[in-house]
A and B are shown apart, each in its own frame.
Chain A
Amino acid sequence: MSDIINISLNEENGILHLVMDAPNNNMMTTAFLNTFEAIMVKVAEIAEKGGIKGMVIYGGGRHFSSGADVGALAERSEKEAYDDSSDELPASHVVQKSHFTFLRDLPFPVVSVVTGFCIGSGSEIAVNSHYRILEKGARIGQPESTFGILPALGGVARNIEICGMKNAYELVMTGDMIPADQAYEIGYADIFTGKKQGLSEALSLIEYISDNFGTFEPEKYREYIKQYKQSRLV
């Protein structure tokens, strides 16, 4: 039954591995999102205890995520009351969104290793991470506007932050899927690797940050990766 969602969270050598291995290339159905959010609660609890060097997020199969089930999304939002004249967003949306955006505030680096498709809300997991490592063959996109909506789990704000205004506007407005090398050129990817190299690169980045900076300060995430990349050139 496709409702069985396999998203695992394990710790290895002080690094959390969040592996998404759900049906339909990690399509983000309601069941997927419920499981993902429950795991994010666990991540927050673990973060609170300390002692974690970083977290890597990746797909257990070929793809990072094929994104949201737009039909289910429409159905869910139809049930959520939103009065545009009030200040109140639906509470369920606020909670769900916080489980994406809080990744950026975690006290350790969060690295998404992107293989295959990374689309829509799947891409929003990636852009809410501090870093994105894209393997050759990956394709990313925010196609929500082609369905008459927009990415609302951080997809607009974070894409602007990491890709700049023009590139983010193009990504969000056109909904185009772009290959990994182009994603690297526009700043979406911090590192572009060959196939099967993303995870080891992510672990290397996390170890570098842990070894060289000790305490991870989220607001300095750009500084850390800059120094890491410089260290790789030596």
Chain B
Amino acid sequence: MHDMNTEIKEYTTEISGMTSLRALLDAELGSPCLLIVKNSKLSGGISNDIRDFFTKAPFLTALADDEPSEELAELFDMVIPADGIDEWTARLFKDKSKWAADQITACFVKARTGTAEEVLDCESRAFYRLMAVKNGGGSNE
């Protein structure tokens, strides 16, 4: 079994070689839009603190696995194909600043536990922040 490897990129943090999700609890993950767990043979139960991690994560979580267990698929925000991750993420974040990608991603994170009304509110606020920058104002870029 190879060791766990964490790669912190601008938009994503990619973790491979993981054997237990428990390792996420103490890992340095940076501030990604998307945490991607790939090339990992995950075993062991899913304890409450792990569920808590996935519920409260301030970023989206993706499991890159072509045949995930139902339990794991439900834990992550999304399941993506095991191959082609670089191309997929490049397509997602093309021509976007990290700040802009964060603004959009925040609405999706909100949708994990929030009501539809809360997501509708989040998208409106993100719109005005993004538009302020687009119009040459704001200082969040």
What residues of chain A have their CB less than 8 Å away from a CB belonging to chain B? 73-74, 77-78, 80, 82, 84, 89-90, 93-94, 97, 101, 145-152, 154-157, 160-161, 164-166, 168-170, 172-174, 176
Q: Are B78 and A150 in contact (CB under 8 A)?
A: no
Residue among A148, A164, A172 with max Cβ neighbours from chain B (10 Å): A148
Query: When the two chains form their complex, are residues A174 and B92 in contact, meaning their CB atoms are under 8 A apart?
Result: yes
Pair A93/B92 contact, Cβ less than 8 Å: no
Q: Mark B114-137, 1 if CB is under 8 A from A, else 0.
A: 001001111111111111111100
- Using a CB–CB cutoff of 8 Å, the interface residues on chain B facing chain A are 60, 62, 77-80, 91-96, 100-101, 103-105, 107-108, 111-112, 116, 119-135
- Cβ B93 vs Cβ A157 within 8 A: no
Which residues from chain B contact A89 at a C-beta distance below 8 Å? Answer: 121, 124-125, 128
Q: Of all chain B residues, which has the CB nearest A80?
A: B128
A161 and B126 contacting across the interface, CB-CB below 8 Å: no
In the assembled complex, the CB of B18 is this many whole angstroms from the nearest CB of chain A, namely 20
CB distance from A172 to the nearest CB of B (A): 6
Q: Cβ of B80 and Cβ of A93 under 8 Å apart? A: no
Complex contact B130–A150 (CB within 8 A):
yes
Closest B residue by C-beta to A93: B124
Q: Which residues of A contact B79 (CB under 8 A)?
A: 166
Instruction: Judge whether B101 and A157 touch: CB under 8 Å.
Output: no
Instruction: Tell me the smallest distance from the CB of A98 to a CB of chain B, in Å.
Output: 10
The residue of chain A having its C-beta at the shortest distance from the C-beta of B34 within the complex is A169
Contact B119 A156 (CB under 8 A): yes
Measured between alpha carbons, how far is A147 from B130 in the docked complex, in Å?
10
Check B95 against A90 for contact (C-beta < 8 Å): no
